[in-house]
Amino acid sequence: MNPEPEKAYPPATSCCGSQPEPDKSTRRDFMLKLGFGLNAIAGAAMGIPLLGYALSSFLKPHQLDWVSLGPVEKFPEGKTRLGEFLNPVRRAWDGATAKIPCWVRRIEGDQFQVFAINCAHLGCPVRWFEESKLFMCPCHGGAYYENGERAAGPPPRGLYTYQYKIEQGDLLILAGALPNLAQPIA
């Protein structure tokens, strides 16, 4: 019943008949090298695109776009108001995160300052206090003046500012990236 092999397997050392000469490459050595070489090529063909996929942020240039904050009349002169815009780079499943707030200060006429919501210290959302004309941060207590300059606390600089323009009565800003110290232009 049991299909025991009649003959025992030959011992491994006698596999190639004669003793291989030490300095002479055999066909098996060549096959091994060929195998390594082929796998290096195949691995590169698969691995390099994988790296390109995973590290695309290191290769892709930033994409910013002009987005509207609504008609200029929404922002009274001499006041600072919360504006919001749809992020120009967005996905269908972004949900609430597609909308980004910003602080819009209309100095007078067509003169504006549009500040990023993110504190220059560690990115928490700053709040505007009309009475004391200060922006205050809830995380580590950074404070900024009405014109965005640093007033107190740990921030290393003033608030990040968006570029703006007015087109057909609408206030537009150049947006699309989270501002930070490496890329302060939001």
Interface residues with another protein (CB under 8 A) are: 55, 57-58, 60, 62-63, 82, 84, 87, 89-91, 93-101, 117-118, 121-125, 127, 129, 131-134, 136, 138-141, 143, 145-146, 151-156, 176-178, 180-183
Nearer to another protein, 40 or 122 (CB): 122
Cβ atoms 149, 133 nearer than 8 A = no
Tell the smallest beta-carbon distance from residue 38 to another protein (Å).
28
Distance CA 71, CA 168 (A): 9
Cβ atoms 162, 140 nearer than 8 A = no
Burial degree of 155 (CB within 10 A; 0-12, 13-18, 19+): buried
Q: How far is CA 130 from CA 9, 40, 44, 116, in A?
A: 91, 64, 59, 17
Nearer to another protein, 13 or 57 (CB): 57
Nearer to another protein, 72 or 124 (CB): 124
Distance CA 136, CA 98 (A): 24
Tell the smallest beta-carbon distance from residue 185 to another protein (Å).
11
Tell the smallest beta-carbon distance from residue 11 to another protein (Å).
24
Tell the smallest beta-carbon distance from residue 82 to another protein (Å).
7
Tell the smallest beta-carbon distance from residue 171 to another protein (Å).
17
Nearer to another protein, 15 or 54 (CB): 54
Distance CA 91, CA 69 (A): 20
Nearer to another protein, 72 or 90 (CB): 90
Cα dihedral across residues 135, 138, 143, 148: positive or negative: negative
